[in-house]
Amino acid sequence: MTKISENGPAARLDAADRLPGARELRALSYDLLGGAESVVDVGCGAGRAVAELAERGVAAVGVDRDEGMIALARSRWPHADFRTGDACRLPLPGHAAGGYRAERVFHELPDPAGALAEARRVLVPGGRAVLVGQDWDTLVVDSDDPALTRTLVHARADTVTAPRAARAHRALLLDAGFRDVTVDVRTLVLTGPQALPVLGSLARAASAAGAVDRERADGWLAEQRARAAADRLFAAVPMFVAAGTAPPA
């Protein structure tokens, strides 16, 4: 098994996959694929969604640009199909998939329109595309210092390539020619210690970006730890789920 760093990308993905409501959110994305028998999961990370789709009888291919993540996925799910590739140059022929899924991916892409053009290429006519993402400006955290919290949230958002990509999912799908586009919002509500890695990442990123000094960021995080210990922590992460159907040939 590939070793996972406690604070590395795979560990953070694993923590996000275990958050309350995360499994239900993934299940919703699978349902929105409309019964597709073959699916490409773009930005598959450590491969959990590919494995869960396989449990549903779906022939799923996981694609990620990170070779280390693909190696980890292969070690965890040795019978699944994982490939290294870019969202704008998928390692699949045209019309190879009945479904396209991307979760927490489009905020990292410099060319989301190009990625959806590639989705059109690999999807069969009438195939389904499902995009799941967080709008990085809309993280809600209860705190004794709302002004500092606002600064931390926005500073963290500014470190993301496209922090507001999720609110544009509907427009992106429509511009790419997808039909019957729908949008849903599901909110992950966090009230316990499981939220602390998320909030810790927020504080560290804002401090590293120079938005606040380390002492203030550490003080804010100490307040959140105290809230968790007293069962008073509250954070909410709205997740935007958009889906559309590729047009006929």
The rounded distance, in Å, linking the Cα atoms of 199 and 34 is 35
Residue 53, beta-bridge partner list: none
Note the pTM of the prediction, 2 decimals.
Answer: 0.93
d(CA 154, CA 168): 18
Length of the chain: 249
Q: Where are the domains of the chain?
A: 9-135+161-188+237-245
* pLDDT at res. 5: 45
Q: pLDDT 10s digit of each residue in the chain, 249 long?
A: 444 444 577 887 888 888 889 999 999 999 999 999 999 999 999 999 999 999 999 999 999 999 999 999 999 999 999 999 999 999 999 999 999 999 999 999 999 999 999 999 999 999 999 999 999 999 999 999 999 999 999 999 999 999 999 999 999 999 999 999 999 999 999 999 999 999 999 999 999 999 999 999 999 999 999 999 999 999 999 999 999 999 997
d(CA 8, CA 126): 38
The pLDDT of residue 20 is 85
What is the third-level CATH fold of 9-135+161-188+237-245? Rossmann fold (3.40.50)
pLDDT value at position 15?
Answer: 81
pLDDT score at 14: 83
Report CA-CA distances (Å) from 240 to 27, 86, 116, 218: 14, 23, 17, 30
